[in-house]
Structure 1
Amino acid sequence: MLLTTLTTKLSRASIAVLALMTAAVSAEVVFYRYIDKDGVPVISSKIPPEYAQKGYEVVTPSGRVVRVVKPAPTDAEKENLRSKAELAKWDAELRRRYSSVKEIKLAKQRKLESIDGSIQILKGNIGGIDTRIHQKRMEAANLERAGREVGEGLLKQLEELKHKREVTVTRIEKRERERQALIDKFDQDIERFGVITGRRES
């Protein structure tokens, strides 16, 4: 009697273990259902990368859908998502930094005053360089009139001054481009702030 009972329990336990193992194996077996190049649905244990990008379903052997994988976004969709994210970031930054259009205009004025100041300093430097170039040229001209040779040192100084002038002019042009970019950015901020808040006061 005891042996029979023990055997029955073992049999039931074995059946339970077997059932669990079968369920586990079944749970691991899945297939991929996708649409091929001819528009025909295909069910396979593997999915080619080019079709995976277009979206597919993960299904069980019985055909039950376990998971749906959406198609990868197109380049245009990615750009649209990126643009929306950037726009949201811009809006949040404007709301965080300013409470009115007037504040944006005051910030614009301060920035422009700063960059205008640096441009004026550079232009002043140009004036000083031009004065020194004129002086060195006069020295060279006086030497030539006196029948003397213009020394290498003087010629080198002239070349260095000319180079310094070119560098300074380039810096001025760069600052002027930055000034225009600054104006454009603040004007865009003012316009966008008006859109998201409905406030367009001057």
Structure 2
Amino acid sequence: MLKPFALRYSLALVMLASALAGAAELYRYVDDKGVTVLDRQGVPPEYIGKGYEVLNEQGRVVRVVPPAPSREEMQRQLDAKARASSDAQLLRLYTSVEDVDRALERKMAELDGLIGVARGNQQSLRTQQANLQSQAAESERAGREVPAHLVEQIDNLRDQQKSLDKDIARYEKDRDAAKAGYAADRARLAELLGGTR
């Protein structure tokens, strides 16, 4: 009989302790009507974002949960974090604005090389096309039909030239974008290093 009593007594103590622990905290928040509310159950989900205070049984504030940042503030924080990351990356890449200038020169040389190769390929394709068109013209002058494979080859050469035109236009765009990007990097690095150079 003693054992069940001890068990019941222990269980009652545990329940009392948990009730007291739950009663030990009050939550203070402002509802949508502007009324300050004290609640033992916690803060309803719709008010958590506005921030609240946790009070002990004597009514003293033991913890303050600040309001969630607004969408604009959150965006500012994200922008600041992205800027800091970008600045750190810039400082890892370059030690001076002259490094940025050299990197731009290398990029321009690379793109100019690609443009030169593409233009050289275009010239080669034009020469091939002129030869094939000459053969086609000879067939027509001789009163023969132009062979299908010849027409197909000429069409393929035109398609390749169009593709090279697109490549060259893309490389030209890349040149402009690189100039703008490196100029921005140069200006930001100068700012980070303490003045323009």
Pairwise same-fold verdict (TM > 0.5): yes
TM-score, structure 1 length as denominator? 0.79
1:123 aligned residue? 119
- The residue aligned with 1:7 is none
Q: Give the superposition deviation at 1:43.
A: 3.1
Distance in 1, matches of 2:128 and 2:62, equals: 82
User: In structure 2, what is the Cα distance between the partners aligned to 1:163 and 1:31?
Assistant: 76
The Cα of 1:49 is off from its aligned counterpart by 2.9
**Alpha-carbon distance in 2 for matches of 1:78, 1:25:** 38
CA distance in 2, matches of 1:104, 1:81: 28
Check if 1:156 corresponds to 2:152.
Answer: yes
1: CA distance, partners of 2:45 / 2:127: 70
- Alpha-carbon separation, structure 2, partners of 1:104 and 1:116: 18
1:33 aligned to 25, 28, 52, which one? Answer: 28
Q: Please tell me whether the aligned partners of residues 133 and 161 of structure 1 are also in contact (alpha carbons under 8 angstroms).
A: yes
Alpha-carbon shift at residue 46 of structure 1 (Å) = 4.5
Taking the TM superposition and a 5 Å limit, the aligned residue runs for 1:50-65 are 50-60=46-56, 63-65=59-61
1:27 corresponds to which letter in structure 2? A
Q: Which amino acid in 2 is paired with 1:105?
A: D
**AA of the residue aligned to 1:33:** R
* CA deviation vs aligned residue, 1:52-90 (integer Å, no higher than 9, x gap): 222222344654434222222222112211221122122
Sequence identity of aligned pairs in percent? 36
CA shift digits 1:135-172 (9 cap, x unpaired): 22222222222221122211211221121112222222
Deviation (angstroms), 1:31: 4.3
**Residue 105 of structure 2 corresponds to which residue in structure 1?**
109
Aligned residue for 1:58, secondary structure, equals strand
| Alignment partner, residue 90 of structure 1 | 86
Instruction: State the TM-score, normalizing by the size of structure 2.
Output: 0.81
Of 168, 193, 196, the residue aligned with 2:192 is 196
Matching residue's letter, 2:70: T
- 3-state SS in 1 of match to 2:64: strand
Q: Equivalents in 2 of 1:32, 1:162: separation in Å? A: 76
In the alignment, what sits opposite 1:5? none
Q: CA RMSD in A?
A: 2.6
1:76 aligns with 2:72: yes
Residue aligned with 2:143, SS: coil
Which amino acid in 1 is paired with 2:33?
Answer: D
Distance 1:117 1:64, change over 3 A: same
Instruction: Decide whether the 8 Å contact of 1:100 with 1:199 is kept in 2.
Output: no
Q: Which 5+ residue runs of structure 1 have no aligned equivalent?
A: 1-13
TM-superposed CA distance for 1:121, in Å, is 0.7
CA distance in 1, matches of 2:22, 2:139: 97
